[in-house]
Chains A and B, each alone.
Chain A
């Protein structure tokens, strides 16, 4: 599994594998922790490479410290340019999956909601609505998977929705595309 997390980070998995991996993230704490730790390792290695100094040994302390202050580290933030497109997609899905998981977790019925394929689940849905805290204003950029951006644009195109001047709805949807393509 660790190999595969590493491969996901390096953009070596194809889309289907990446999706499969990402779905695991939502299910277990361990994978998310590993994902975070891999990123920490990657960060730390990167720093040591620049300074040519010794590699800090107390990685786990730093991991937990940073996780404590900065839970958004779960969503990979900086990706070197040479990473493949697959990775970009994986990363955005990850962010969404993790956040989706967090939201559902708040509802205290995550498994049921995530796994529930049956048409009617009004009761838990209700729980989500009432238990949902304000979307935290953290630095995580919660991007939807890439094809969802097309949906957003298509929805925007006719959406009577939010009473905003002309382009704002487009700006909003396009911003999503931009976040993904920029990765």
Chain B
């Protein structure tokens, strides 16, 4: 939920000193020409982050990117055990995502696979508190807009305008009463790169916990299971660095990760500008791995992917940033 969107974006500010990157904490270079973010708008971001910890809801939302639209159903329950959530994709191949606090399980019945991921955020920062959103303000102007009605709820519009073309902007529609996010769009100037919006939503009320169980629970025992385990490492331990990231992007963590069908863990370096994240994956090439040609790939929505080889390693850069940004980051990956 944006619950982890926000913690993560706060994270950049929090973690950065721990990992003592080479750039000193500079003041925003553009603050003299451009307006800084409105404190009130930043306050709304905190509200968005906190809301899912306080409210039950059941609803249907659509996700659209390019010409594709996909409908999903979400059930979100908060109880003494924390947050529990089930999302089902209603169009196309069935997919179900069950979340219990930090643990996520994706059920993919067609390929008979369960993918499990435990978020590392909490493990690292058990009590992450809202911090001044310095990184965010350095790279985006956060503004409060007008009010609009979404799914019959009156929403406050918040915009995050990028201060340069290295990143996309965002527009958020937040329920004025609860702070729940009811619509969000990733913007490339005036173009909508991707968006999601609730088409029907009920906030509050009791939810039967049984509804949150996967309908594949029984069968999934026999499915292939992938666990995307990660182990964070100290800064520089991986032996790789990002020499020249675009302005505002900082390394937030580096780790080793298990991925499905890989005998050896893959190195993973994550960067953030306070909102957008970019991951760099580095794995030694082997004959077993069929690898794509080098170049720029486009996935769904805001995600861009750039692959190149560096001294017998395949370096893949993935992020919800413009193509030039993944390329710049990918091209500045060097071994120490």
Contact = CB atoms under 8 A, between A and B. Distances in A.
A141 B184 CA distance: 23
Interface in B33-86: 48, 52, 61, 63, 65-67, 70, 72, 74, 76, 85
B300 to A, nearest CB: 5
B47 to A, nearest CB: 12
A160 interface: yes
Contact of B63 (A23, A155, A172, A178): A172
Contacts of A73: none
Interface string A143-162: 11101101111110111111
A154 B257 contact: yes
Contact of B95 (A96, A121, A171): A171
A139 B68 CA distance: 8
A10 to B, nearest CB: 17
Contact of A155 (B226, B277, B331): B277
A160 B194 contact: no
Interface stretch (B18-26, B144-152, B209-217, B286-294): B286-294
Query: For this complex, into which size category does the number of interface residues on chain B fall?
Result: 35 or more
Contact of B297 (A138, A148, A163): A148
Contacts of A158: 4, 8, 119-121, 253, 270, 277
Contacts of A144: 292, 297, 299, 305
A175 B95 CA distance: 8
B170 A163 contact: yes
A35 to B, nearest CB: 15
B67 A178 contact: no
A114 B295 contact: yes
Interface of A: 15-16, 18-19, 22-23, 26, 89, 93, 96-97, 99-101, 103-104, 113-114, 117-122, 125-126, 128-130, 132, 134-139, 142-145, 147-148, 150-155, 157-168, 170-172, 174-178, 181-182
Contacts of A128: 296, 323-324, 327
Contacts of B89: 171, 174-175
B318 A155 contact: yes
20 contacts: A16-B290, A89-B290, A103-B323, A113-B295, A118-B331, A128-B296, A135-B66, A135-B298, A138-B66, A144-B305, A147-B291, A150-B259, A157-B104, A158-B253, A165-B1, A165-B74, A171-B95, A176-B300, A178-B93, A181-B111
Contact of B106 (A118, A160, A174): A174
A1 B83 CA distance: 56
Q: Which 3 A-B pairs have the closest CB atoms?
A: A160-B8, A15-B290, A129-B324
Contacts, number: 272
A129 B165 contact: yes
B200 interface: no
Contacts of B272: 160
Contact of A148 (B305, B324, B331): B305
A175 B300 contact: yes
B155 interface: no
Contact of B290 (A19, A160, A178): A19
B85 A168 contact: no
B196 interface: yes
Given A160-B4, A161-B276, A163-B48, A119 B332 contact: yes
A121 B205 CA distance: 55
